[in-house]
A and B are shown apart, each in its own frame.
Chain A
Amino acid sequence: MEKAVLVDMTRCIGCRGCQVACKEWNERKAVQTTFKGDFTNPLKLSSDCYTNIRFVETEKNGRPVWSFVKDQCLHCRYPACSAACPVGALTKTDKGPVVYSYDKCIGCRYCMIACPFDIPKYEWDTTRPWVQKCSFCSERIKDGMLPACVKTCPTTTLYFDDYDKVVVEAESRLKKYPQKYVQHIWGHHEAGGTNWLYLSDVDFEQLGFKSGVPDVSLPDYTWPLLSSIPAKVAGIVTLLSAIAWFRGRGSQENDKS
């Protein structure tokens, strides 16, 4: 059974313990940052930052609202990156994490293009560059441990369990507090569903969640094309051979070309 995480943003206090725990566990280095009036730091995910908290200020009924959004790989159920990668360097494991293999990777960066959430990042400043992203602490999960961020979170914002149980929990919270939550589990259907699900009290689009991601498995857009190749090849070769034969009758053999 795949594991999943429910991120209940109504509980997050933006302490960023998860951000640091992830850095610590994955031995990511800190970079020199500037500060331009935005507490989000580093501003974007990178090869050194698998997860960060985005601080979003909005307003409701004249009263400030401050939301803290945890960004990281969503570990899609049908990952576009995995279907995109020509060598299968990104794979969805049966426990849920989408993991990366440097040994297979050729560095074409198509996964970065294919990901609807712009998650995979690259190590540009080395001659042995990895694609870097949250690994859902796959090695920790394998040993029955919690992901580093989940373990660190003090306010139970991150709920880690089997996928089915996580969905049930999300649905029950929506039902229990209809006034508090936006009535939508983000990640339930987006991109065909992700293993990291979100609940919020603020409109998801206002919080910077990518809009326009269809509720279908993205690899479904390309698999029909690929699976029909044998048929297509057979068809085209037959057709062209027929045309060539038909048009070639009466043509001189050994025509100097």
Chain B
Amino acid sequence: MKKDNKNTKINSPWIMMALVLVVALVFAAIYRFYWGLGAATNLSDDIPWGLWIGVDVLAGVALAAGGFAIAGAVYIFNLPKYKPIARAAVLTAFAGYVVVSISLFFDIGKPLSLWHPLIMWQPHSIMFEVTWCVVLYTIVLALEFAGPYLESIGAKKTATIMTGRPVLVPLAIAAVTLSFLHQSSLGALFLLIPSKLHHLWWTTMLPYNFFISAIAAGLAMVSFESIIAAKVFHHRLDPEILQGLAKGTAITLLVYFILRMGDILVKGNISLMFDGGAGTLFLFEMIFFVLIPMLMLFKNTRSTNGMGVMMPQVLVLLGVVFNRLNILFLIQYKQGVSYYPSIVEMAITLGLIASIIVVYKIAIIKLPITTLWKTYTSPDN
């Protein structure tokens, strides 16, 4: 039985809060553009990259990886099990990448020059490559999203084309390729600074570490949003999907663990783990945000209760944010210097996250995103 959400109210206490944050975002934006970065943020010559780069851009891109992961699973590997969540995943990714671009618009010193990399080329620059991939991938996401949108406005013929395999398969291939390039390149950004990034994180494997952890983040994000959405819209999500995602996340985490620990073993850096400070941070990151969720997810693969995966998936999400922030922290650490985000910085980041939530809810209600979500019988349905 198909379920549509046209009758679910958009507004709710959560949405009210989100809207407050969006208003704050607007004020913060005016402040930032009028008074400049120095006044609006706590960034400095010592800490040039802060909350916006750490969370909005680095973590945000990783968390939006669900888009290509699910698209790849459904259209390249042809796993129909995940089709019901494909559109939601694309929606999340699209909203996420738009927010990443908006965040960059806020963060760079000359926002009106954001388009420069399109015309002024520096092929030796990782960031140049990231910029191009992000632009191209956002276009791909828009094209992937075109189908549901066209359906909602009744453009049946075009919608059919945009939702057919001849379009979606190449788009999925493009998505995976572009994502492989830029997800790993975000890690490659830090290859240039072996003297600044602690060697429990720095390795020539850094691009692969970033790519693999992005997949884990993307899968975890899809799990998380599906669970929340199901609650909000009174759906039951197919536990098979959640278990499949859990298994996928767990395997990805395992690969990640092996890659990182293997590299550290081979380089003879094991002793660094016990060096205090950075070593402790590393252990924290690996134990609480990789090993524990991995084990929980492997264990929960068999259970029928979808909720059991919520906590470990949240840990994975937090873990990816933690990992990106750790790297930023380590490369910019200077004695006697501390950084915490300013009110404006937080208003913008929280406001943008809130915007995603609001847009997501509206989209789910207004657009055919969740049409394939099944309900299933259970004692308390």
Contacts and interface: CB of A to CB of B under 8 A. Distances in A.
Interface residues of B, number: 69
B254 interface: no
Interface string A44-88: 111100000000000000000000000000000000101111111
B116 A114 contact: no
A105 B113 CA distance: 8
A197 B226 CA distance: 58
Interface string A192-213: 0000000000000000001111
A257 B43 contact: no
B188 interface: yes
B165 A248 contact: yes
Contacts of A176: none
B49 A253 contact: no
Given A122-B48, A243-B77, A244-B172, A127 B36 contact: yes
A226 B207 CA distance: 12
Interface string B330-344: 011000000000000
Given A86-B125, A127-B36, A248-B169, A106 B117 contact: yes
Given A84-B125, A112-B48, A124-B38, A221 B204 contact: yes
B76 interface: yes
A84 to B, nearest CB: 6
A129 B120 contact: no
Given A221-B192, A257-B163, A244 B128 contact: no
| Residue from B36, B45, B130 having most chain A Cβ neighbours under 10 A | B45
B147 A257 contact: yes
Interface string A150-180: 0000000000000000000000000000000
A23 B182 CA distance: 41
A212 B198 CA distance: 10
Interface in A100-115: 104-110, 112-114
Given A83-B192, A109-B48, A113-B331, A244 B173 contact: yes
- The interface centre, meaning the residue of B83, B86, B191 with most chain A CB atoms within 10 A of its CB, is B191
Contact of A108 (B38, B108, B124, B195): B108
Contacts of A240: 72, 76, 172-173, 176-177
A93 interface: no
B78 A211 contact: no
Interface in B120-142: 120-131
Contacts of A45: 45
Contact of B77 (A46, A80, A247): A247
Interface string A223-243: 101100100110011001101
B272 interface: no
Interface in B278-316: none
A124 B110 contact: no
Contact of B45 (A46, A218, A236, A241): A46
A143 interface: no
B194 interface: yes
Given A86-B127, A87-B122, A113-B332, 18 more contacts: A84-B127, A85-B122, A85-B125, A89-B120, A107-B108, A107-B113, A108-B107, A113-B331, A121-B45, A124-B44, A124-B45, A128-B110, A218-B194, A225-B185, A240-B176, A243-B77, A251-B165, A257-B147
Identify the 7 closest CB pairs spanning chains A and B, nearest first: A107-B109, A124-B38, A88-B122, A212-B195, A247-B78, A86-B128, A87-B120
Interface of B: 33-34, 36-39, 43-46, 48-49, 72, 74-78, 83, 86-87, 104, 107-110, 113-114, 116-117, 120-131, 147, 160, 163-165, 168-169, 172-173, 176-177, 180-181, 184-185, 188-189, 191-196, 204, 207, 331-332
Interface of A: 44-47, 80, 82-89, 104-110, 112-114, 116, 121-129, 210-214, 218-219, 221-223, 225-226, 229, 232-233, 236-237, 240-241, 243-244, 247-248, 251, 253-257
